[in-house]
Structure 1
Amino acid sequence: MDTNLPQTSQPRIVIIGCGFAGLRLAKDLAKSPVQVVVIDRNNYHNFQPLLYQVATGALEADSIAYPIRKIFAGQPNFFFRMADVERIDSGRNTVVTSVGDIGYDHLVLATGSLTNFFGLESIEQNAMQIKSVPNSLNLRSYLFQNFEKALLTEDPGQRQALMNVVVVGGGPTGVEICGSLAEMRRDVLPQDYPELDLKKMEIYLIESGAEVLGPMSKESQEKGKTYLEDMGIHLRLNTHAQRYEDGKLYYSDTEFIRTQNLIWAAGVNGAAIDGLPEEVIARNKRVNVDTQNRVVGQRNVYAIGDVANMVTEEMPRGYPMLAPVAIQQAEQLADNFQRLLKGEELKPFKYLNKGSMAIVGRNRAVVDLPGDLHFSGFLGWLTWLFVHLMTLVGFRNKVITFISWGISYFSSDKALRLIIRPYKRHDFNDQQGVVAAEHKVATAQYHPPVAAPNAPVVGG
C-alpha cells in the first residue's frame, strides 16, 4: 500500500497526470502543509503545442520534454511515482496503479485528452496522430520512409500516394502542421530527394466546418486561410472524412484522395478514468465538475484541464480544452485547497481569456487578443515565438529551442530528418490508446461507459 510513500499527518493530495494542469497545481502547492503525490506513466512533462515541430524535424524531442523529478527538485513536499493508473476506488480513497495502491485525502484528475475519431474505424486503424513524443517521432520517420519508397517505385500512382499528405482538422494543430509541411516541401525535401519532382507533392487540409481556425476571430480565420493557400495547401472546407481504404481517403461515397500519409488532428475526447460513476462522464468523455472543479457527487475528487467538463451559463458546452484554461483551473484549485485547509468557503472558477494564436509558417501567424484586437504577419509570428518560448519548461529547453529556431530561420533548413527507428504502419497503431495522450494521461487504458461519442471537432 502507498508504494513506499512516507507516512505523514498532513493531507495527501494525489494528482494523476503531469501535463499543464497537473504541473501547475503541484508547483502552486509547494509551500502548502500537504503531501503532493504526482502519478504519470512517463517521467517527463512534454510541451504538446510544439509536438508538430518534432514531427516535421524542426526540433528534437528533448527540446520540448523535461524530467518531472528535475522540475520539482528542491520541493520537499513533492513525490512522484511513474505508473499506469488502472482505476479509482473512491470508497477506499485509493488509486489502483500498476505499481500498487496509493491512498489519498484529495484526488485530482489532470489526465488530459485522447484523440476522438468519431467512430471512423478505418481511419482510427490507419491514421497518424500527434498527441505524444513517440507519436511525433514515429510520424517523422514514417514520412521520410515513404519518400524513400517513392524513390524506388515505378508506379506513378503509388509514387504520388507516397508523396501526398492529408491532414484532417482545420484547428491550430492542423493548420500548423500543414504550414510546417509546406515549408519542408519547399526548403528541405528538394535537397534530400532531387530525383523526385517535389512540385507534384500535394498537401491537403480537410475541415468539416466552413473555416479554418474555427475558435478564432473572423479576421484570423481569413488571414490563416490566405496564408495556407499562398503556401500551396489544398483546402477542402465543409468536407467530412468518411473512410480510409487501400491508400485512399474518401470524403464522399466516390471521391477520394490518394495518400499513404494521413494525419488526424480533428478531435479530442476527455481521458476519464475507470472507477468514476457513469453519470459523471459526459458524452465527450470529459468528467462533469462543479464551479470549484469538484467532480459532481464526489466529496474529495476533483478534475482540472481538458478532462474537466465545467458547464456554466457563460460556457453551456463547457470550457474549451486549452492550456490556458487548464493552467488557470490549476491555480484556482491550489488556492481553494488553501481555503479548505483553513475551513474557508471555496471560490468558483473564473476564466480570464488572454487571447489565442496560431502559426502557419515563417513570418506568418495570427493572434487574437481581448478587446477585439487582432494582428498577424511578422508581429504575430514574433508574438507566437515569444509566448511559446517563455512557456517551455526548463532553461535548457528554452535555449536549445531558441537556437534551433534561429538556425532554421536563417538557413531555411531542418536538419533532424533521421529515420532512427523504422516501423510499419501497424506498429504505429499498436501504440494508440497507450501513448495517444502521453503528454498528460497516466492511465493504462480507458474503458469508456456506454455512450455515443459526440465531442465537437477541435483542431488543437
Structure 2
Amino acid sequence: MNIPETSVPRIVVIGGGFAGISFIKKLQKEKVQIILFDRHNYHTFQPLLYQVSTAGLEPDSIAYPLRKIFRKNVDFHFRMAEVETIQAENNTIHTSIGSLHYDFLVIATGTRTNFFGNDSIAENSMPMKTVPQALNIRSLMLQNIEKADITTDERERKRLLNFVIAGAGPTGVELAGALAEFRKGILENDYPELEEEEMNVHLIEGLDRVLPPMSEQASEKAQKFLEKLGVQIHLETFISDYDGKTVTTKDGQKFETATFIWAAGVTGAPIKGINGEALIEKANRYKVDEFNKIKGFENIYALGDIALMETEEYPKGHPQVAQPAIQQGKHLGKNFRKMLKDKNMEPFEYFDKGTMATVGRNKAVVDMGKLHFGGAIAWFLWMFVHLWFLVGFRNRVVTFFNWTYSYINYDRAARLIIRPFKK
C-alpha cells in the first residue's frame, strides 16, 4: 500500500463524506498521520445529486477532489480503495489494495440504498446515491424522451413519458419538482412533437403525507406546490414490485413506466468485523457513546449516518442527514486534539439548525425550530445554504451561475446523454 512508517499516531478514516472531511479538517495542524480511504477520489455534495439527475447541474459542480481538499495537510495520505474487513483485535484493516495497521480508526461510511429485501426493485429500479447513478438517471430520462418523440405506439409513448418516484422524503420531493419543471420548461421547446400533458410524474409514498421528517405545515405546503406543478401524489401506497416495465403496488395499482427512481429509504453501510452489541442490525448502524466511540472498543469511532447515538431527544439516533454528520465530524476532531494533549473529551450535543427542501422555482419549505415557512423566501434561503456548504470556491461560482441562468431562461443546460444506461 506504500504508506510511510510514522512515529506519530496513525488515524485511519474510512469515508470522504461530510463527517469524514469535517473530522480531518480539524486535525490539519496536529502531529498525526491521517490516511483516508474512499471508493471514489472525490467528495460528493449529496443534497444536490437530484439536480445532476435532472440536468440542472453538471457533476463537477457538486463533486470535489479529496486530495485537493487536504493538500495542505503535511502528513495526509489518500487511497482509493474498498475497506473490506476490520480486525479490531490487532488494530488492522484489510482493503482491496492491502492491509494497514492503525492507532485510531474513524468509520464514516454513510448509507446505502435500502430496497427492503425486494430483489426485483433492486434489480430494475434506479437508485440515486452516487454521481454515476445520478448521471445514469439523467441519461435514461433523456433517452426515454428521445424514444417517445419518435415512436408511433401510443402505449409505448405513455410508458416512456411516465416517471415514477418511490419515496416522498426530501430527495423524492425535490426530484418530482425538478422533473415537473423540466416538463414545463423544456419539453414544449425542445420536443415540439410531444405535448406537455403527455409527460406524467408520479410520487408514491407509504405514509400519509409528503416530507414525513418535516413538520405538518411544511408537508402541506410542499404538497400544494407539487400539485400546482402537476405532480400526481399517491399517499399511503406501498410498492410491491417493478419488473422493468410496470410498477405494482400492494393495493393493486399499476404504473407502466420506463423510468422508476427509488428514493424510498437508506440503511447504514457497516464494514465486516464489528458485530455483536456494537452493530444495531435493523438500522445497520454502530452504537456509539456520547464521544462517538463505538461501544465495546477503545480506539474505534463512528460518525454521521453510520453512528447511532442514543439521547433523550433522539432515542433512535440522530437524523441521517448532513448536519449531524458535519457537527459530529467537527466535534470529534476537536476531541482528538484534546485527547492528544491529555485533556478530557467533551460529549457531543447536536444543534438542530433546521430542515429544508425545495420543490421548484420560488418554491421551498423550511423548518427552523418553531418557525415554519415556505415560498420564495424559503427558496432563496435554501439556495444560500446549499451554496455555502458546497466544497470549493469554483463549485459555488459554477453552481450560482447555473442557477441564475436557469432562473432567467427557464432552462436546464446539462441535457446531455453521455452514457448508455447500465446498472
TM-score by length of 2: 0.97
**Shift in Å at residue 208 of structure 1?**
0.7
Q: Distance in 2 between matches of 1:253 and 1:324?
A: 37
Which secondary structure state, in structure 2, belongs to the residue aligned with residue 8 of structure 1?
A: coil
- 1:281 aligned residue: 279
3-state SS of paired residue (2:126): coil
Contact 2:112 2:267 (C-alpha < 8 Å) held by counterparts: yes
Q: Using the TM superposition, give the Cα deviation of residue 168 of structure 1 relative to its aligned residue in structure 2, in angstroms.
A: 0.7
Deviation string for 1:109-149 (max 9, x for gaps)? 00000000111221111110110000011110001111122
Contact 1:357 1:366 in 2 (8 A): yes
User: Cα RMSD between the aligned structures?
Assistant: 1.2
SS at the partner of 1:224?
helix
Partner deviation per Cα, 1:346-372 (whole Å, 9 max, x = no partner): 2221100111100000000011112x1
Which position in structure 1 is the counterpart of 2:239?
241
Give secondary structure in 2 for the equivalent of 1:188: helix
Which residue among 264, 267, 276 is the counterpart of 2:265?
A: 267
> Distance between the aligned counterparts of 2:311 and 2:371, measured in 1?
26
Cα separation, 1, equivalents of 2:267 and 2:343:
34
> SS of 1:189's equivalent?
helix
User: Contact 1:19/1:46 (CA < 8 Å) preserved in 2?
Assistant: yes
CA distance in 2, matches of 1:84, 1:186: 42
Match of 1:440 in 2: none
Q: Distance in 1 between matches of 2:244 and 2:211?
A: 30
Does the CA-based 8 Å contact 1:178-1:203 persist in structure 2? yes
Question: Are 2:124 and 2:244, in contact at CA under 8 Å, matched by a contact in 1?
Answer: no
Residue aligning to 2:323: 324
The 1-side partners of 2:112 and 2:208 are apart by: 25
Moved more, 194-203 or 293-302: 194-203
Q: Match of 1:400?
A: 398
Helix, strand or coil: the match of 1:393? coil
Could you say which residue in structure 1 is the equivalent of 2:59?
61
Cα distance in 2 between the residues matched to 1:32 and 1:369? 36
Aligned to 2:134: 136
Q: Distance in 1 between matches of 2:108 and 2:205?
A: 29
Tell me the equivalent position of 2:227.
Answer: 229
Deviations 1:14-71 (A, max 9, x none): 1000000001101111122211111111111111111110011110011111111111
CA contact (8 A) 2:125 2:244 kept: no
- Aligned twin of 1:441: none
The answer to whether the 8 A contact 1:206-1:235 is kept is yes
- 1:120-135 residue pairs with structure 2 within 5 A? 120-135=118-133
Q: 1:286, 1:307 → 2: CA distance?
A: 5
Q: Post-superposition shift, 1:206?
A: 0.5
Share of identical aligned residues, percent?
50
Residue in 2 that maps onto 1:431? none
Please, which moves more after superposition, 241-250 or 216-225? 241-250
1:295 aligns with 2:294: yes
1:37 aligns with 2:42: no
| Other-structure match for 2:149 | 151
* Residue number among 185, 188, 210 corresponding to 2:186 in the alignment: 188
1:246 Cα offset (Å): 5.4
Q: What is the distance in 1 between the residues matched to 2:148 and 2:291?
A: 54
Output aligned runs, 1:11-30, within 5 Å.
11-30=9-28
Equivalent in 394, 411, 414 of residue 413 of structure 1: 411
CA contact (8 A) 1:26 1:78 kept: no
Structure 2 counterpart of 1:206: 204
CA–CA distance in structure 2, aligned partners of residues 399 and 419 of structure 1: 24
Greater length-normalized contact order (CA 8 Å, ≥ 6 residues apart): 1
Offset of residue 154 of structure 1: 2.6
Cα separation, 2, equivalents of 1:245 and 1:337:
50
Matched residue, 1:100: 98
Q: 1:368 to 1:246 in 2, by over 3 A?
A: closer
Q: Which residue of 1 aligns with 2:309?
A: 310
Q: How many pairs are equivalent?
A: 422
* CA distance, structure 2, for counterparts of residue 278 and residue 220 of structure 1: 39
Give the unaligned 5+ runs of structure 1.
429-460
Structure 1 residue ranges (4+ consecutive) displaced by more than 6 angstroms after TM superposition? none
Shift of 1:382: 0.5
2:378 to 364, 377, 380: 380
Q: Is the 8 A contact 2:19 2:329 kept in 1?
A: yes
Q: Does 1:163 align with 2:186?
A: no
After TM superposition, give the deviation of residue 253 of structure 1 in Å.
Answer: 5.0
TM-score normalised by length of structure 1: 0.90
Secondary structure at the counterpart of residue 138 of structure 2: helix
SS of aligned partner of 2:407: helix
Deviates more, 1:245-254 or 1:227-236: 245-254
The equivalent of 1:178 in structure 2 is 176
Task: Report if the CA contact (8 A) 1:287-1:309 is conserved.
Answer: yes
Instruction: Give distance in 1, aligned partners of 2:234 and 2:207.
Output: 9
- Does the Cα contact within 8 Å between 2:163 and 2:260 map onto a contact in 1? yes
Candidates 254, 257, 272, aligned match of 1:256: 254
CA–CA separation in structure 1 for the residues paired with 2:250 and 2:151: 28
Which residue of structure 1 aligns with residue 81 of structure 2? 83
With over 3 angstroms needed to count, the CA separation of the structure-2 counterparts of 1:291 and 1:17, relative to structure 1, is same
- Partners of 2:68 and 2:120 lie apart in 1 by 41
